Structure 1
Amino acid sequence: MTPFLFVILMFASVPIALVLALTALWYIHESGNTVLYDSFGQQMFAGVENYGLLAIPLFILTGELMNEGGMTKRLVQAARVFVGGFRGGLAYINLLANMFMAAIIGSAASQIAVMSRAMVPAMTKEGYDPGFAAASTAAGGLLAPVIPPSMLFVIYGVLAQLPIGDLFIAGIIPGLILALAFLVVISAIGLVRQFPKGEWMTLPDALRALRNALPAFLIPLAIVGGILFGIATPTESAAIASLIAFAIGWLVYREITPRDLGAMFMRTATNSSLVIFMIAAANVFGWVVIYEELPQTLAAFISTVTSDPFTFLLIVNLCLLFVGMLIDGIAALILVTPILLPIAMNSYDIDPFQFGVVISLNLVLGLLTPPVGVGLYIASAMSGVRPFTIFAALWPFLLAVFLVLILLSYFPILSTALI
């Protein structure tokens, strides 16, 4: 009965955190072992009793401070210096700016919202097809789950009990490969459609743009550099980054003041609490999953299908692609990690860092794929382009992601080389 309740609640659009918690409660009720009720609250608290989770609200706050503090538009101008003169220069600027933002925000949905507001009107004004402008911007948001810092890596690291800093480092090469794949897609489309020719900035303008963006570059340097050189943990790096973002927005760019912090703290607390509650509920659900030995049962079944790690990862990719279409990426990650990770490690000897990179990139695809496709609707709301029009222009980028996923699944060294 418990699996049926889980499916019914899911398709009834009940929030995933409540689905997980209610399913666990119903399992205890069905088991007749009422002593387990005493452990329910303890298991929920144990799920969030982790220092690494503090990085989530801090990264969200950093993104809020960047958006309000004027750093986004200055990073876009800095990107214009490097690629603005090529044919289709604004499309390359979009991609490069998305890389800068991915190294700061860490959330695909937030990045799509910010960049759609900044880039789609500008690209449309210069003669780009609105569907392509919105699609390339939305696709750029897919860099957020792999280029550090990544909110999905923080959550996966907590669930898998892996060092979050090492996970961030594992995402560097895959993130660069994905960005290169998007670069190829934009170039190929540009050859067919003959994008508008860009203009190089004059030397004084270029120097001014780089000078203005220089303070904003301190944020990704503080995050990634602090972790790479062992100066700070990911959580400490997130705290330092949020402090730097506030100081730059207030004292350098003068676009925020201490009075604005209250509203930003409220938005950060609201968004963070949703994620933290999901993790707490997932810990209870994972407790039930382990109690019922579901990973062992599923592993025995899958091992009858294949004994090859690459084939197993392909099966997982296909299954997670379907899951991601129906469930939010964070919720799906919380749901599947306790089930699939033990199988990947124990039955197929797959490196947990490789597995984390693969499933994080896979699940975030659900942001841009119907029927849920939250990222599509965010890009549509911010740009005024219809979701179907965006999706029709998005397929080359999605194909590139699929190819990158196959590469990451076949070559573990791409995820583990820097660790």
Structure 2
Amino acid sequence: MGLLLSVFFGLLLLSVPVFVALGGASLAYTHFIGNLPDFVVLHRMAGGVDSFPLIAVPFFILAGNLMNSAGITNRIFDFATAAVGWLKGGLGHVNVTASVIFAGMSGAAVADAGGLGTIEVKAMRDRGYNDHLAVGVTAASSTIGPIIPPSLPMVIFGVMANVSIGQLFAAGFIPGMMMALSLMGYISWYAWRYKIGADQPFILGVLGRTFIQAIPALLTPIIIIGGIATGAFTPTEAAIAACAWALFLGFVVYRTLSIKRFYQISINTIETTASVLMIVAAASLFGWVLTVTQVTAQFTALLLTITDDPIMLLLIINVIILIVGCFMETIAAISILVPILMPAVAAVGIDPVQFGVVMVLNLMIGLITPPIGMVLFVLSRVANISIEKTIKATAPFLIPLLGVLLLITIFPQLTLYLPELWYR
């Protein structure tokens, strides 16, 4: 065990890719300590990605990339502006509303920050909003993307923990809406505190016109979520349907995609998918080695000596995941932590679906916390401000997000109501 962890953390300190650290540490153990044939390593890695639900990964990534490139984000933003721009702190509410709609399409926080974020920050600056609010709310609202279905991190969690992805998707809907409402509540307080008014009056005609223009885009989450909820197709099939619809919008309806652009999007999707699946494969091997060396059993025993109360244990695990999320990318964190934490979660009777949503929300908060928060770096580039200013702008928005995390930790029904209604 000492060799395994030493090599793993040593490689991380050398800034090698996460999948190399996971695979290298596992290979060192199997070769020098486990005395196992090297083909066992390949077998375990291949087995880790030999999963039907993982087929959804490239298609959800492709769908998000297509949405960002097909002119859909502009139409979503215009509709959200007409719908809630009349509230005090208008464009702040628009920012959150647009992210909720986009969440039903991409399932990735970085895609939200990079796609909608460009439009949102510019619009708020043009209306006189300071960067503190513009950048902060854009970063915080982007974390809603992987909570409201579909969600790429939940697909990875479902595969690693052997949990129904459909139930995970259903479980994320209420917490995602809670995140949106809590952020809008903070924006309302901020607007009252600093006397920020509305950005435009409510005009029914404008709302109707922007709604009609956005209908094709708005149908995307309806197709995905509605199809899964009604049993028309599986989450994997939903990802394929989302890609087909996005292609139809880009090439036929909006005519914003070209063959050349589609080729570039496909290459980017392949690169992203390859990195994700390499992490999953290496993490599967690493998790197997942790099990063989009894690390997971020892860690479970350690946690259970502290408490066997489900809520208290989940609060302790929250702290662990929050700390890990500050230093590690989401997919890697899920792949490493699930084999370690799931035995303790199961031992005290915590529903794995609830735990999946809690873990993903924890790691979404990690995306907007230093030093590794990817959304912070994306928005620093989008807004053309320093990373220090981005961190300072985002910090106050951690309060409502942590509040939601606490609520779904203490009250399991907030996550389990819809899965029980639809699947159980």
TM-score between both structures, scaled by the size of structure 1 = 0.97
Matched with 1:363 is 363
Q: CA RMSD in A?
A: 1.2
1:242 matches 2:243: yes
Q: Structure 1, residues 216-269: CA drift from partner, whole Å, max 9, x if none?
A: 011111110110000001111111111111111211111113342211110110
Matches within 5 A, 1:87-126: 87-126=88-127
Matched with 1:378 is 378
Q: Structure 1, residues 28-50: CA drift from partner, whole Å, max 9, x if none?
A: 12315233x23111111101111
Matched with 1:4 is 6
Offset at 1:334? 0.7
Matched with 1:294 is 295
> C-alpha distance in 2, partners of 1:375/1:81?
27
Alpha carbons 2:92, 2:184 under 8 Å: kept: no
Matched with 1:20 is 22
In structure 2, the residue corresponding to 1:117 is in which secondary structure? helix
Matches within 5 A, 1:236-275: 236-275=237-276
In structure 1, the residue corresponding to 2:367 is in which secondary structure? helix
> C-alpha distance in 2, partners of 1:90/1:179?
14
Greater mean deviation of Cα atoms: 190-199 or 242-251: 190-199
Alpha carbons 2:376, 2:391 under 8 Å: kept: yes
Greater mean deviation of Cα atoms: 9-18 or 272-281: 9-18
Matched with 2:178 is 177
Task: Quote the sequence identity (%).
Answer: 36
> C-alpha distance in 2, partners of 1:87/1:387?
28
> C-alpha distance in 1, partners of 2:302/2:81?
52
Offset at 1:68? 1.1
In structure 1, the residue corresponding to 2:326 is in which secondary structure? helix
Which amino acid in the other structure matches residue 329 of structure 1? T
Gaps of 5+ in 2: 420-424
Alpha carbons 2:309, 2:348 under 8 Å: kept: yes
Which amino acid in the other structure matches residue 64 of structure 2? G
Matched with 2:36 is 34
Which amino acid in the other structure matches residue 210 of structure 1? F
> C-alpha distance in 2, partners of 1:352/1:32?
31
> C-alpha distance in 1, partners of 2:413/2:207?
38
Offset at 1:182? 0.7
Q: Structure 1, residues 273-315: CA drift from partner, whole Å, max 9, x if none?
A: 1001100111111110111122211111111111211111111
Which amino acid in the other structure matches residue 330 of structure 1? I
Matched with 1:82 is 83
Offset at 1:201? 5.1
Alpha carbons 1:185, 1:396 under 8 Å: kept: no
> C-alpha distance in 2, partners of 1:108/1:351?
25
Offset at 1:91? 0.8
Matched with 2:417 is 417
Q: Work out the number of aligned pairs and report it.
A: 417
Matched with 2:354 is 354
> C-alpha distance in 2, partners of 1:141/1:93?
13
Matched with 2:422 is none
> C-alpha distance in 2, partners of 1:133/1:29?
52
Alpha carbons 1:134, 1:385 under 8 Å: kept: no
Matches within 5 A, 1:300-319: 300-319=301-320
Alpha carbons 1:295, 1:340 under 8 Å: kept: yes
Gaps of 5+ in 1: none
Q: Structure 1, residues 344-366: CA drift from partner, whole Å, max 9, x if none?
A: 01x21100000000011101222
Matched with 1:216 is 217
